[in-house]
Amino acid sequence: MFNKILIANRGEIALRVIRACREMGIASVAVHSTADSDAMHVRMADESVCIGPPSATDSYLSVPAIIAACEITGAQAIHPGYGFLSENASFVQVIEDHGLTFIGPTAEHIRIMGDKISAKDSMKELGVPCVPGSDGGVPTLEDAKRIGAEMGYPVIIKATAGGGGRGMKVAQNADEMESAFLTARAEGKAAFGNAEVYIEKYLTTPRHIEIQVFGDGKGQAVHLGERDCSLQRRHQKVFEEAPGPAISADERARIGKICADAVAKIDYIGAGTIEFLYEKGAFYFIEMNTRLQVEHPVTEAIFGVDLVREQIRVAAGLPMSFGQDDLTINGHAIEVRINAERLPNFAPCPGTVSQYHAPGGLGVRMDSALYTGYAIPPYYDSLIGKLIVHGRDRPEALARLSRALGELIVDGVDTTVPLFDALLCEADVQQGAYTIHWLEKWLDKTFAS
Cβ atoms of 147 and 155 within 8 Å: the answer is yes
Q: Is 13 in the site for ligand ADP (CB under 6 A)?
A: no
Q: Is 434 in the site for ligand ADP (CB under 6 A)?
A: no
- Tallying the residues shown for the chain, one arrives at 449
How big is the site for ligand ADP, counted in residues (CB under 6 A)? 20
Q: Is 208 in the site for ligand ADP (CB under 6 A)?
A: yes
Nearer to ligand ADP, 187 or 300 (CB): 187
How many other CB atoms are found less than 10 A from the CB of residue 41? 25
How far apart are the C-alpha atoms of 347 and 327, rounded to whole Å? 41
Nearer to ligand ADP, 191 or 316 (CB): 191
Strand partners, 168: 158
Nearer to ligand ADP, 426 or 440 (CB): 440
Task: Spell 290-315 as b/e; 16+ CB within 10 A means b.
Answer: bbbbbbbbbbbbbbebbbbbbbbbbb
> Of the candidates 7, 131, 222, 305, which one interacts with ligand ADP according to CB under 6 A?
131
Q: Is 161 in the site for ligand ADP (CB under 6 A)?
A: no
How far apart are the C-alpha atoms of 431 and 190, rounded to whole Å? 40
| Shortest distance in whole angstroms from residue 99 CB to ligand ADP | 32
Q: How far apart are the first and last CA of the chain?
A: 58
Mark 226-255 with x for binding to ligand ADP (rule: CB under 6 A) and - for no binding. ------x--x--------------------
> Of the candidates 197, 203, 224, 274, which one interacts with ligand ADP according to CB under 6 A?
203
User: What DSSP string runs through 38-58?
Assistant: T-HHHHHSSEEEEEE-SSGGG
Q: Is 164 in the site for ligand ADP (CB under 6 A)?
A: yes
Q: Is 435 in the site for ligand ADP (CB under 6 A)?
A: no
> Of the candidates 129, 137, 163, 350, which one interacts with ligand ADP according to CB under 6 A?
163
Q: Is 91 in the site for ligand ADP (CB under 6 A)?
A: no
| Shortest distance in whole angstroms from residue 58 CB to ligand ADP | 25
Nearer to ligand ADP, 60 or 285 (CB): 285
Half-sphere exposure (Cβ direction) of 257: Cα atoms closer than 13 Å: 6
How far apart are the C-alpha atoms of 367 and 307, rounded to whole Å? 15
> Of the candidates 216, 287, 295, 310, which one interacts with ligand ADP according to CB under 6 A?
287
How far apart are the C-alpha atoms of 188 and 171, rounded to whole Å? 17
Q: What positions carry a catalytic annotation? A: 291
| Shortest distance in whole angstroms from residue 277 CB to ligand ADP | 6
Which of 71, 63, 72 has its CA nearest to residue 99? Answer: 71
Judged by CB under 6 A, the stretch of 164-172, 250-258, 264-272, 417-425 that binds ligand ADP is 164-172
Which of 247, 298, 248 has its CA nearest to residue 273? Answer: 298
> Of the candidates 61, 156, 307, 358, which one interacts with ligand ADP according to CB under 6 A?
156
Which of 348, 353, 336 has its CA nearest to residue 413? Answer: 353
Footprint on this chain of ligand ADP (rule: CB under 6 A): 131, 156, 162-165, 168, 200-203, 206, 208, 232, 235, 275, 277, 286-287, 436
